Amino acid sequence: MGTGGTSGAWRSALDEVGGIARFTGRFVREAVRPRFEWRELVRQGFINGYQSLPLVAITAFIMGLVLTIQSRPTLAEFGAETMLPAMVSISVVREIGPVITALICAGKIGSSMGAELGSMKVTEQIDAMEVSGTNPFKYLVVTRVWSTILMLPLLVVLADTIAIWACFVGVNMKGTVSWVLFHQQVFDSLTFSDLLPALIKSIFFGLAIGVVGCYKGFYTEKGTEGVGRAAHSAVVVASLLIFVLDLVAVQITDILGYN
């Protein structure tokens, strides 16, 4: 019985992976095929980008401040306190900024997509769009996924900027460092090879969040109960996928010599 339950869980997980892969393939086909829903794309970009900015900004500021305060005592033990701006900025730009921002967006954007499309599915609004001759996948899914792909790198850049500014605030809590000197230390330590891999993987994070959120909502079943389940599973699966993609990205950048 235990073996059967384990095999059933593996089969269900593989079915889920296959379903998401097919859904992604369908998105790729539809994404480059006219007609394009520009107005809906702009609206989704506003919802997923601009309306997510306050949460991302607050989190980035706290993240940069906490990282600075927590790292100072360790660096002070080795007499390397002057390395604090460089260490925090590299950590934020390379890894912490993209991953934390993606996880926040997975919770906010992924759950809202799953719940919104799930409620449309169970109330048969998606079926009504198909009957009326509208392509619901094109209108509902493609625009939402494109919006996350486009908005997430912008949110990551803004989060990195705010976190580095928070580092400046944290550095000056127990000392006095001018903005010019802080700016020089940060940008002397950062290179284009630090920023480029982070932006590239943030594009894939956005793809994962959009695809998983829309997939869960588009295939919601079992009435209103399924809407809550779709929103919950969208966050869980998207968050897990972000960590998997991050691991793959780190391995690739290491092989290419970006680390």
Q: What is the pLDDT of residues 49-75, one digit of tens each?
A: 999 999 999 999 999 999 999 988 888
Q: How many CB atoms lie within 10 A of CB 17?
A: 12
Burial track 22-44 (b if 16+ CB lie within 10 A, e otherwise): ebbeebeeeeeeeeebeebbeeb
Confidence at residue 1, expressed as pLDDT on a 0 to 100 scale? 45
**Residue ranges per domain, the chain?**
31-256
The Cα 230–Cα 39 span in angstroms is 26
Give the global pTM: 0.90
Q: Which residue has the higher pLDDT, 36 or 47?
A: 47
pLDDT reading at 175 higher than 80: no
